[in-house]
Amino acid sequence: MRGHRLRIPPHRSPRSLARLGVALLLTVAAGAGAGGAAAPGTADGGRRAAAPAALDSVIPAPAAVAPGGSPYEITADTAIRVPAGSSAAAASARGAGEYLAGVLRPSTGFELPVGSKSGDVELRLSAKLKTAVGTEGYELTSGADGVLISAAAPAGLFHGVQTLRQLLPPAVEADTRQDGPWPVAGGRITDEPRFAYRSAMLDVARHFFTVEQVKRYIDQLALYKYNTLHLHLTDDQGWRLAIDSWPNLAEYGGSTQVGGGPGGYYTKDQYRELVAYAASRHMTVVPEVDMPGHTNAALASYAELNCDGVAPPLYTGTSVGFSSLCVPKEVTYDFVDDVIRELAELTPGRYLHIGGDEAHSTPHDEYVAFMERAQAIVAGYGKTVVGWHQITASPAEGTVAQYWGTTDGEQEVIDAAKAGTPLVLSPANRTYLDMKYHAQTPLGLSWAGYVEVRQSYDWDPGTYMRGGVPESAILGVEAPLWSETLSTSDQIEFMAFPRAAGAAELGWSPAAKLGWDGYRDRLVAQGPRWEAMGIDFYRSAQVPWE
């Protein structure tokens, strides 16, 4: 079944039908929330006020919470105040305000004007906060008179907005008007991320996903303060980005996918659109062009990239490790240089991912020689290399290695990390979102074992690597989603949620805030929110959703 598209099974249909009554259910759920004092009376005067969600009920868990004081209620009189001025930072902060209004308007039905003169929900830039919470952290203060989100940089304001969303009843996520009320508990949150790199990967090579599908996933990830989107753009089954100097890569190499479907690719303008959209959610796109293995789509597109000069047929299966660029040929490096140059021109972020995993058909000495040259090419275009952890066979200075093993670190990786190679952790038996939850899961793979919700969450990135690797060597955490068995947004969401929320918390929250029991309780509150967002998530038996 791994080579064929799969559909969400019929047993999930009742949940979709239940959305017809989701507004009522969400209102009831909001009213049953714990924490905080009762909200002020609402406009209709006769409806019982809902208790606001507790300040510490959000995901990722905030660094510090001090509840207290009266709650605030968003009403028809609420306005959103944003910084004035013409600077780029002020403009980005105003964008966060417009984003907040865009989330709240459909469900509340309120006008929620955004301006710089007044407003009882205020987004404020304050340079002095950089010492306290860095460039991604924020302070959120709520009381009877309003809500203030303060940050040193626009990214912090945006992350604070995500916290405010989760403090409001789940029905706020609906795209149609709901009854309310819309209370926010009183108190203060001071928050900042533990790790700088908090990433999710989407494999668009095995199955192609459209611009709109990728945007949908970006929006879902933004709620949990991810700051990086790793796009796996090329593999044996498809090449998904137009390269002007080698046009057959996309036109021919992108013409199929796993199971033999039509495939597809992004034009350069479409890729720029994705990069800009992610940036509007304060996420950086890290593009991956896998090499020297996982390259059948390229080899099929250009015969000269093969050592024997013969192009193989396009591939629509799911095996790995059989393909390799021809390391001894100089044309191979002309190809790599052209692809990296065009990719670097399109990508404003600092990182380019060059793969490097499962190159089983490349002799070790050739692998090392190739990766050394490829790393130098990336550096020549002013970018920082990211590679799967096999790159630690010969990492260049500054290269980031992404660990995807299951054994807490191979010795080569441990040695490289202790010598200064930063690590992004994505252990397959913890964070791979395409691993089956259990034997009966209709989607996904199981080569790394079954990964239930607790298994995916219940580990600490700071102490995960054995062999004396310090937390300072860990750049961050990534949750990859490979698409051998996935071809629709529903399927992406079923495999990603709830586990993507847990990976986000591992990347953001301080170690002292991590713990399965508390996380499980906070996860319960996300169920109605995901329903309101139209996310078909996996209802793990490990979580008391009802």
- The residues that are catalytic are 358
Amino acid letter for position 52: P
Both tokens assigned to 71: 């709650």
Residue 155 to residues 92, 124, 395: CA-CA distances in angstroms? 8, 12, 31
Q: How far apart are CA 348 and CA 61, in angstroms?
A: 30
Contacts (Cβ under 8 Å, ≥6 apart) of 388: 355, 356, 357, 401, 402, 404
Return the DSSP state at 48.
P
Return the DSSP state at 351.
E
465 alpha carbon, distance to own chain's centre: 22
Cβ distance 450 to 439 under 8 Å? Answer: yes
What phi and psi, each to the nearest 5 degrees, are found at residue 506?
Answer: -60, -30
Question: 46 exposed, middle or buried (CB, 10 Å; 0-12, 13-18, 19+)?
Answer: exposed
Residue 469 to residues 9, 405, 424, 428: CA-CA distances in angstroms? 43, 15, 13, 19
Q: How many Cβ atoms sit within 10 Å of the Cβ of residue 362? A: 24
Instruction: Report the SS3 class of residue 8.
Output: coil
- Residue recorded with tokens 């403090």: 167
* CA angle centred on 213, ends 210 and 215, rounded to 5°: 110
Amino acid letter for position 124: R
Contacts (Cβ under 8 Å, ≥6 apart) of 20: none
- Helix or strand (DSSP H, E) at 95: helix 88-108
Both tokens assigned to 149: 């989100």
Contacts (Cβ under 8 Å, ≥6 apart) of 399: 375, 384, 385, 386, 387, 391, 421
Return the DSSP state at 60.
S
Both tokens assigned to 288: 């991956």
5 alpha carbon, distance to own chain's centre: 23
Cβ distance 62 to 142 under 8 Å? Answer: no
- Residue recorded with tokens 């028809």: 76
Cβ distance 401 to 420 under 8 Å? Answer: no
Q: How far apart are CA 255 and CA 239, in angstroms?
A: 8
* CA angle centred on 121, ends 143 and 163, rounded to 5°: 80
Nearest Cα neighbor of 324 from 348, 342, 307 is 307
Q: How far apart are CA 86 and CA 116, in angstroms?
A: 12
